[in-house]
Amino acid sequence: MDAAAKILILGGLGSLLFSFLMAFVLAMSRLSDPQADRSLLLQVHRVSLWEGFMLLALVWAVALSDLSAGVESLAAVLLVGAAVLQITSNTMAWRSGNTNLFAPPRGLTYQLATANAVFAFIGLAILVVGALKAL
């Protein structure tokens, strides 16, 4: 198995593990106050769940890719890093009660989300090129 695939699998499993931990936090929170708004906590759970699914699914793109192992590993590191930034920014938004990352003043949560978008785009673009090159 390629190093890039291993990176994506470990990142995906870590993201899913975090999602399950957040589901536990969400359940405990709902038990203490069933009527409270938990949309931000639910968002953290969803984001980490979807990031995990995405990282695990991208193992197939690495398998299809015709690029060098180093370039594929770079893409995997960028994608896992982007997932970490996305999960971190959503967790920070939940903890601070920030419902709109784009509203001024834009702080660290916005910067993390922006970096996530850049890293994810570059990593995904690399894997798309690799997959298209292999076809």
Per-residue pLDDT reduced to its tens digit, 41-62? 999 999 999 999 999 999 999 9
What is this structure's pTM? 0.94
> What tens digit of pLDDT does each residue of 98-110 get?
998 888 888 999 9
CATH number (domain holding residue 77)? 1.20.120
Domain count, the chain: 1
* Residues in Cβ contact with 108 at an 8 Å cutoff, skipping those fewer than 6 apart: 92
Query: Which of 29-43, 47-61, 74-88, 114-128 is least confident?
Result: 29-43
Domain boundaries, position 81? 3-134
